[in-house]
């Protein structure tokens, strides 16, 4: 006499298998969303870095532009060098604070800030 699974055992096994498949599909979907979000942040950071390096550092100014689905804003302002840090024999270097904010979507943003020195010190 051969022994077989009962209908109840087969239904329980199928239910467990179905729940496992659903959980795996949800995990894969979440991983894809996180991968897309990481790619967006990487592209925004690279754009912010490029925008911060490009452009003139002259007078205080603000620039904005739309590039694809990213919108960036670049702010440049002069930063006075504290007297304690200024060289005594040479002219003080001219520093500028550059900040770039990149926005996309409803609430996504990346902001970077740096100091840049102009090539020739102020006389």
- Contact call for residues 44 and 102 (beta carbons, < 8 A): yes
User: Considering the domain boundaries, does residue 1 fall inside one?
Assistant: no
- Please give the span between the terminal C-alpha atoms of the chain, in angstroms, as a whole number: 105
Among 39-48, 62-71, 114-123, the least confident range: 114-123
Write down the pLDDT at residue 82. 76
Per-residue pLDDT tens over the stretch 60-69? 889 999 999 9
Per-residue pLDDT tens over the stretch 85-113? 776 777 777 889 999 999 999 999 999 99
What is the extent of the structural domain holding 84?
7-117
Q: Number of folded domains in the chain?
A: 1
Contacts of 65 (CB under 8 A, 6+ apart): 71, 72
User: Considering the domain boundaries, does residue 57 fall inside one?
Assistant: yes
User: Considering the domain boundaries, does residue 123 fall inside one?
Assistant: no
**From the CB of residue 7, how many other CB atoms can be counted at a distance below 10 Å?**
8
Q: Would you state the structure tokens that stand for residue 80, as one six-digit string? A: 């006075």
User: Considering the domain boundaries, does residue 66 fall inside one?
Assistant: yes
């Amino acid at each position: 006499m051969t022994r077989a699974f009962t209908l109840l055992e087969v239904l329980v096994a199928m239910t467990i298998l179905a729940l496992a498949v659903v959980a795996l599909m949800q995990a894969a979907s979440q991983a894809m969303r996180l991968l897309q979000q990481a790619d967006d942040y990487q592209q925004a950071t690279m754009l912010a870095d490029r925008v911060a390096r490009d452009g003139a550092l002259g007078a205080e100014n603000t620039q904005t532009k739309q590039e694809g689905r990213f919108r960036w804003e670049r702010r440049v302002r002069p930063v006075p060098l504290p007297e304690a840090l200024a060289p005594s024999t040479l002219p003080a270097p001219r520093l500028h604070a550059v900040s770039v904010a990149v926005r996309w979507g409803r609430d996504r943003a990346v902001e970077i800030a740096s100091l840049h020195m102009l090539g020739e010190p102020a006389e």
